[in-house]
Every structure is written in structure tokens, then in C-alpha cells.
Amino acid sequence: MISYLRFIFIKFLLLLALPVLAQETICLSPAHSHKIDSKYLNETREYWVALPLNYSDSVSYPVIFVLDAEWRFELVRQIAFDLGGHQKIEKSIIVGIPHVEVEHKRGQDLTFSHSQVEFDGEKVDWYNEQNSGSAEKFYNYLTKELMPDLSKNYLINNHHTLIGHSYGGYFGAYLLGRAHPFEILHLYDPSIWYSDGEVTEKLKGNSSIKPVKIHLTYQPKPEFHKRKIEEFIEALKGKNEFIDLSIAFYEHENHFSIFLDSFYKGIQLTNQPLKK
């Protein structure tokens, strides 16, 4: 009798352990690093790839491109992996795009001009070729080198999402003026103030743009920054025949804390969930 009870007890413990053991096998695969000798940037660039749960070489996947990958790649890959695994969004490949150096290169990569105004409206003269204005080269690297290289290594489809925060949001917004490769743009507290709202003026002057989904989030400080974003929102609403727009205002968040909830909710709004 004692042996039988011991057998039942051990079996019970094993049953309890199964979910834990199963959870350990369903884990994130390590990120894959790829390098490109870019002719547009004249330097070697790296990008990172995280694959979805049960990735298969016989299935084509949407891609979520993450700017400022130094800070945002791990967060996005973890959330997207979990949401995809629970059928809240399509299982997606996450691509992180870091900068070779943040202090100067980030500004060069993500801005198309040299601003003469700062985020609070102050007139400045410190934006120059050393820290800004090379986004055209970065855009060519992204679309003509990184994306083709990605498609050689992984089976992807044309459902591309770009995640941009701050300067990255400005970069994404600037792309509205051209035939960009993205179906979805996420613009988190974008630096629309840059060059005194040049993105808004470009949008107003464009009679037709590529149809796109946009998820835009912002917070209230400083006032100049907020006002420039709201001017941009009004311009977006004027293009509603092309733009499927969702907006979230985070009154109690700041420029940095806004990212987490922006992505978690925004990706579920814009990324097609699996059919059950």
C-alpha cells in the first residue's frame, strides 16, 4: 500500500513538473546577428534577427523592423514572441537595427536635415553634418541592402511594420512622402518638432501617398513638441483616404516610458491576428 501511494505521489509530482519542463523547451531562440558591408554608409553594419515560436522555413512571415535596437530590440522581441505564441498577433520575424555609435551616428541615421530648432522650440545652431542629416543614406541601406539580405536568409512576406520612437518616429513619418516598403508605421512620441515640423509640411504638400496604417502615440511635454505632433495629426487626418490612423495620448507618461504600452497595444491594433 505504501509503495502504491509513493507511486501515485511521484506521478503527481511529475504531472506538476510537466508545464515547467514544457515551458523550458518553448523558449526564445537566441538572436541571429548579420553583417553588411554597406556601400551607402561606407561602413560595416549589423542587424539582429529574432524568430517566432516554431519558426518554419516553409512559411513566409511578416517582419517587424525596430529602430534604435540597442534599447528596444529585446523588449519588442519578448512581447512579440509572447503575443504571437498566444495568437494575439501573427507570428513575426523581429529585425533590430542598431547604430554603430549612438551619440552622433544615431542623429545622422535618422534625420534628413539639420534642424535649427530644438524640442522645446529653442533656436539652435548645433545640428550639422557630424550629427545629423544623413538619413537618405541610411534609408538606402535599409531598403536596398538590409531588406534584400534579410530575404536571402529568411522566408518573409511583404507585411512590413516599422517601429520608430523619437527620432525614429520622425524618420518613419518622413517616409510618408515616398514609395516606402512598409504597410504599417508605428510612431511613438515622434520628433515632429525637428526642423520646425518639416515632416508636416511635406505631408501637406503631397497630393497622394501610399496607403498605410499608422499608430501614433505621444505625451504632453514639452508644449512645443506636443503642439507639433498635434499639427501633424491634423495633416494625417486630412489624408484619411490613404491612412488608417490610430492615436493614443499618454497624459501621465514621459518621452521614454511611453514606449512599452505603445508597442504592446499598438501591435495588436495593427498586426493582423491569426484566424481561429
Placement of cell 523558449 in the chain: 27
Q: Give me the percent of the chain exceeding a pLDDT of 70.
A: 87
Q: Is 35 strand, coil or helix?
A: strand
pLDDT range class, residue 235, cuts 50, 70, 90 = very high
157-205 pLDDT tens trace: 999 999 999 999 999 999 998 889 999 999 999 999 999 999 999 999 8
CB atoms < 10 A from the CB of 182, how many?
Answer: 21
Q: Residue 23 above 80 pLDDT?
A: no
Q: Residue 21 above 50 pLDDT?
A: no
What gap in Å lies between CA 107 and CA 57, rounded to an integer?
Answer: 36
pLDDT range class, residue 3, cuts 50, 70, 90 = low
What gap in Å lies between CA 246 and CA 205, rounded to an integer?
Answer: 22
The mean pLDDT of 208-225, rounded to a whole number, is 96
Whole-number pLDDT of residue 1: 52
The mean pLDDT of 224-243, rounded to a whole number, is 96
C-alpha cell of 185?
A: 508605421
Placement of cell 553588411 in the chain: 36
The CATH code for residues 31-270 is 3.40.50.1820
C-alpha cell of 195?
A: 526642423
Q: Give the torsion sign (CA, 76, 59, 97, 114).
A: negative
Q: Residue 20 above 50 pLDDT?
A: no
DSSP state of 266: H
Whole-number pLDDT of residue 104: 85
What gap in Å lies between CA 141 and CA 18, rounded to an integer?
Answer: 46
Whole-number pLDDT of residue 207: 81
Q: Taking the model in full, what pTM does it have?
A: 0.88
Placement of cell 512620441 in the chain: 189
Q: Residue 27 above 70 pLDDT?
A: no
Whole-number pLDDT of residue 268: 96
Q: Residue 94 above 70 pLDDT?
A: yes
Give Rg (Cα) of the chain: 22
Q: Residue 52 above 60 pLDDT?
A: yes
C-alpha cell of 270?
A: 495593427
Whole-number pLDDT of residue 6: 52
